[in-house]
A = this chain, B = another copy of it.
């Protein structure tokens, strides 16, 4: 069931069948009908391996992220897959676990001609290394800012989002507002950006900072870091967690300590994962427009792949919304 088989049965050349399959204009109606009949009868499907070899494209892109089972990434992946499907691309998912070697290997995948391009959420890999790449991999960075990027990049405005959340907490009348989620192990810049936004807001209102660090953005670390914050005297009356998972872990610690959210400690996160809509209390958060992030990322990648090499990198921004819920209800 290759073009040859169809051609033989329809009594035309292989190339004519190819022309019909590809919708080439100059094929006579009779020939087209004849060929299409045979195509339908045999339920012909082009061999995409062969087509790819000939065209130099695979029709597959890679989406590389630290961990698929973090809800934020799972939700984002869904949108990326949907956006890619509109360009008839398949998406292979690669998990890096935030590991430098695995991030490097993903970038190498392109050279194997297995994928046409990569959407990467970097964690460990640094700007210098990305800038030093010699190959002309089509690459889009998603969600984590690497400043003065060596590649196309799309994210929300993390500084402003963090400032908005912090101001929301200040607006509740809280004065001892902690930040939970600073990092010093990541080469990528999300945590510093969110920290900067938090600091801006506090500085504007003359309030003191309290910063808790974590290694990874998981519930367990949020829970542990929160225990540390509760041990402070005086303890914080509000906490801005740098993502929702941290916030949900923190919430667990607060409630288990017999304190109330938001009465004793108001709590806000960032990501708008579904869990936060069903926790008790529900979680105030910042909702990045994930569909837009995905659409822009795929679109930048498409332009990279189709366009001429050597174009300068582009920065794009997706929108976000502050979503107040029960965890920061006013008294």
Contacts and interface: CB of A to CB of B under 8 A. Distances in A.
Contacts of A45: 108, 111-113
Given A69-B78, A81-B95, A59 B114 contact: yes
B74 A248 contact: no
A78 B67 contact: yes
A277 to B, nearest CB: 7
A71 B69 contact: yes
A37 to B, nearest CB: 20
Contacts of A274: 69, 219
A68 interface: yes
A118 to B, nearest CB: 12
Interface in A42-84: 45-50, 52-53, 56, 58-60, 67-69, 71, 73-75, 77-78, 81-82
Contact of A68 (B59, B74, B113): B74
A33 interface: no
A17 to B, nearest CB: 17
A93 interface: yes
B278 A223 contact: yes
B68 A71 contact: no
Contacts of A53: 47, 49-50, 53
A146 interface: no
B275 A256 contact: no
A251 interface: yes
A249 interface: yes
A280 interface: yes
Nearest to A1: B111
Contacts of A94: 81, 90
Interface string A13-53: 00000000000000000000000000000000111111011
Interface of A: 45-50, 52-53, 56, 58-60, 67-69, 71, 73-75, 77-78, 81-82, 90-95, 108, 111-114, 219, 223, 248-249, 251-252, 255-256, 274-275, 277-280
